[in-house]
A = this chain, B = another copy of it.
Amino acid sequence: MKKTRVTITDIARELNIAPSTVSRALKDHPALKRETKQAVKALAKKLDYRPNLLALNLLQKKSNTIGVIVPEITSHFFSAIITGIQDVIGTSDYNIIICLSNESYDEEMTIVDKLSKIQVDGVLVSPSSETNNFDHLVRLQKSGIPVVVFDRDCPGLESDKVLVDDYSGAFQAVEYLIRSGCKKIAHLSGPINLSTAKHRLQGYLDALENNNMPIQKEYIVHVPGFSHKDGLKPTKKLLKLKDPPDAIFATNDNIAISAMHIAEKLEFRIPEDISIVGFDDQPNSSYVTPSLSTVWQPVYSIGMLSARILLHHLEEEDTKIGFRKEIFKPELVIRKSSKKI
């Protein structure tokens, strides 16, 4: 059963030539006679020779593999980014190993260790919400593995970065709510350790301040995670205030949708009694009722660009021209869950 693969030596033996000649023939080395090349190629084809990449890896000391570290994969956000990464890397000779940190710093460390063990050639990473020490990434860099950070920033880490202007997205959303006449705008904020959550919160705060609106502490509630269920209690808390908000800007679409859910249960009319705006523009957000106003971000492009930057590094490692920092602009998409201006 154990089909043993045909090697270059097998071909050499059969043709009574040296393995090195076979190797060169297969790569069209100019110094070889045409007939030799042809003979080798013909036999290689006949024998179904396939180069042993494992041997090549050892020789070149590289695994031709890229590690991708994401907190999770079930959200549309990260799965779309990964699709973008795949679509770029797929055309190269690299393979992708996707690793899930489950929003855990410890798991992230374990993953980095594993990736370094298997000698990946580069790493794309969006850190967990628990991570605020980036020594493990520095260690990667020090061992010569380029690191590209995407979406979630790693403050203090010097590396290539592909980010989104979360501040601007939040600012746009809140400013729009203000213009539409909302006076009491609440924010369901993400885990504060996260750069994205931090910037969205700041955008919210600045938009209010910019418009001379008061900032009310009880209108800012943090959600523990990013799935629907994480938004339920915080929303209830908001809506059961003596003076409930007339608008909610949620840190992402899932949270916004569960806010809508709770609001409807508590008999708030959307958007008449309360406007709700999310962040992400997941595909299903336009299909909920009322359809969700939200901040779109170019997920697929984030993945593609990150991958391209890494690939660029890998392919011409001579030119060290410092690190790139790319920031995508998100865009407000107005639908039916918020009042018209």
On A, residues with C-beta under 8 Å from B are 1-3, 50-55, 57-58, 61, 63-65, 72-74, 76, 79-80, 82-83, 86, 90, 95-100, 114, 116-119, 142-144, 227-228, 254, 257-258, 260-261, 264, 283-284, 286-289
A-B contact pairs, 21 of them (CB 8 A): A2-B144, A3-B143, A50-B117, A52-B58, A54-B54, A54-B63, A54-B119, A57-B57, A57-B58, A74-B76, A74-B283, A82-B98, A90-B99, A95-B97, A95-B114, A96-B97, A97-B97, A257-B284, A260-B289, A284-B284, A289-B289
Minimum distance in angstroms from A336 CB to a CB of chain B: 11
Minimum distance in angstroms from A319 CB to a CB of chain B: 14
Tell me whether B264 and A287 are in contact (CB under 8 A). no
A73 to B257, CA, bound (A): 22
A3 to B145, CA, bound (A): 11
- In chain B, what residue has the closest Cβ to A232? B287
Given contacts A228-B287, A258-B287, contact A58 B50 (CB under 8 A): no
Minimum distance in angstroms from A155 CB to a CB of chain B: 25
Tell me whether B284 and A254 are in contact (CB under 8 A). yes
Which 4 pairs of residues, A with B, have the shortest CB-CB distance?
A74-B79, A54-B58, A54-B57, A73-B79
Of A64, A283, A287, most B-chain CB atoms within 10 Å: A287
Q: Which of B53, B74, B119 contacts A118 (CB 8 A)?
A: B53
- In chain B, what residue has the closest Cβ to A257? B287
A288 to B82, CA, bound (A): 26
A74 to B79, CA, bound (A): 5
- In chain B, what residue has the closest Cβ to A254? B284
Of A86, A257, A289, most B-chain CB atoms within 10 Å: A289
A260 to B287, CA, bound (A): 9
